[in-house]
Every structure is written in structure tokens, then in C-alpha cells.
Homo-oligomer: A and B are copies of this chain.
Amino acid sequence: MHSATAFAPASVGNIGVGFDILGHTIDGPGDRARVRRIDAPKVRIAEIRNQTVALPTEAERNTAGAALIALREALALPFGFEVELDKGIPYGSGMGGSAASAVAALVAANALLESPLPHAALYPFALAGEAVASGGYHGDNVGAMLLGGIALATPERVLRVPAPATWHCVLVHPDAALETRRAREALKGAYALTEFVAQSAHLALLLCGCHLGDASLVRAGLADVLIEPRRAPLIPGFARVKQAALDHGALGASISGAGPSVFAWFDSLAAAIAAAPAMRAGFAEAGLASESFVSPVNGPAASLVA
């Protein structure tokens, strides 16, 4: 096989209380990568289609390119890769776009290896790809995309966190971009230990709720008291969108990744479907058009496409 195409879904980074370490995928939008084996021992970005802003085409500065460079170097591959990307995730949306390009390219390139690796083994290369966009090694988006569903992702490892199939997510993406860099600047400064204790209690409740399938624990835990207060002012309409979700029975709602997209979890598909228009109305009141996605919390993993 000399070329392969893969799809990586969008994802909700952080899941509110798991800053940089928790993420889950969304069924629907995503990025697609077509990767071709080339004789030249290098990685080339041949084309990027449907981009909302101009992304770097030097392989070293492109997340897909950097991921494949890391893969090539680690495996000492004698051949190279040429990549075409079809962006389905808007830039600066908080839906994991930079991660999805890296993961889609890796999954496609992996299929071109003599002995393809399990997805989890691609994690270090996906982290290296993500790092060129964000400047840090956080795997909440790439980890979820590689494994599917909810992932716990640390710099050293990634594992899947179980959750009931009935739990659903609404992700609302307003027609606005927020640069990750700017969203990270809002987090500068010192933190109090009491903030950490409250947030870590919420994180622990969320994780136990997922493992036990206990929605009441998630309802108690899915409340970001550390990051959200510092970033919410960057997102017009955030408070209204969140409140609309809670008014419709959400287990919790917060910022997806670095924003401006907002997500909410529900314990049924019906509740999620009912809440989505109300959440969009919250952005509309702030003058922002938006689109919404309803997905199982256990969203899909990245995969090869025909």
C-alpha cells in the first residue's frame, strides 16, 4: 500500500476539570489526512484544503508534519511521507483542530508501515505534533482521538476512561476564533492552594462518576472552578450558553479546550438534543452565529477511511 486516508474526530479538551489531561471525542466533525509514501527521506505537506486561516506548510511547523517527522525519526524509516489535509475543524475553535490533523496523518501513515503500531503507541508522535501548535506537551485532544471516548492523557501515557453509552455531549461552536496562545495568557499568574483542592475534588468526582457510571457524581464534579473563571471573559455569551445547558438538565458545562466552543454533558440523548438549540440561543443573544453537535461522550476513535 502506498497511500492511505484517515479521519480524526473533533474533541473536547480539558473536559472542564481535567486541564491538559482529560478529553473526549465528538461524533461528526473532524480532519482528514491522505498520506502517501515517498522515496525521499522527508515529510512534505502537499496541500491543505478548507483551511479557515493559512496554516504552516513547512512540515516542521505543521502539526501533521511534525507528528510524521517524529514517527520517521523514532522508527528510523528509510522512506518519507507526503500529506494532504482536509480541514473539517475550524482554526481556534477549541475543538482540537491542530490535534486532529496530527492524529489523522499518523493513523494514515501507520497503515503504510510494514508493521503498523497500535494506536496507543502513536501517542508520543501525536504529542510531538500537537506541541508545535500549542508549545506544550498536553495530550488531552490527541489521546482521546487515538483511543476514542474519554482519555486520561499525561505526558507519559494515555488510557481510556469508561463512561455509560447513554451519556451525551452537546458541543456548540460559535462563529468566532480564539487563539490558544491568547487563551493560555489568561491563565498566567499565581494560584491559591484552595483553588487546587476544590478543582481536584471535582476532577476526582468526575473520574469516579465515569468509572461507576454514576451521573450524580459527574453532576457534582463537572464544574471548573480553576480555569473557566479566567477564560470565560474571552468568550462572548459564555455565561448564557452555560446557563442554558444547566437549565436543560446538563450534568455540567464548560469551555471546550481553549474555547470559544462550549460543551455540556447530559445523561441522555434526548436531553442533549433538547438543550442544543437553547445553548445556541445563548450565543445568538451575544450576536454570534453558531453550530451545534450532539454526540455520545464515548465518541469515535480516529480511523482509516476507504
Q: Which residues of A contact B (CB under 8 A)?
A: 18-22, 138, 152, 154-157, 159, 161, 187, 190-193, 196-197, 199-201, 203-205, 207-208, 211-212, 217, 220, 226
Q: With A and B bound together, what is the CA distance between A208 and B187 in angstroms?
A: 27
Is the CB–CB distance between A208 and B21 below 8 Å?
Answer: no
Is the CB–CB distance between B203 and A154 below 8 Å?
Answer: no
Is the CB–CB distance between A208 and B19 below 8 Å?
Answer: no
Copies in the complex: 2
A-B contact pairs, 21 of them (CB 8 A): A18-B200, A18-B204, A19-B193, A19-B196, A19-B197, A138-B197, A152-B208, A154-B201, A154-B205, A155-B201, A156-B220, A157-B220, A159-B208, A161-B208, A191-B193, A196-B196, A196-B199, A196-B200, A196-B226, A207-B207, A211-B211
Interface hub of A154, A187, A204, A226 (most chain B Cβ within 10 A): A204
Is the CB–CB distance between B196 and A191 below 8 Å?
Answer: yes
Partner among B190, B200, B207, B226 whose Cβ is within 8 Å of the Cβ of A208? B207
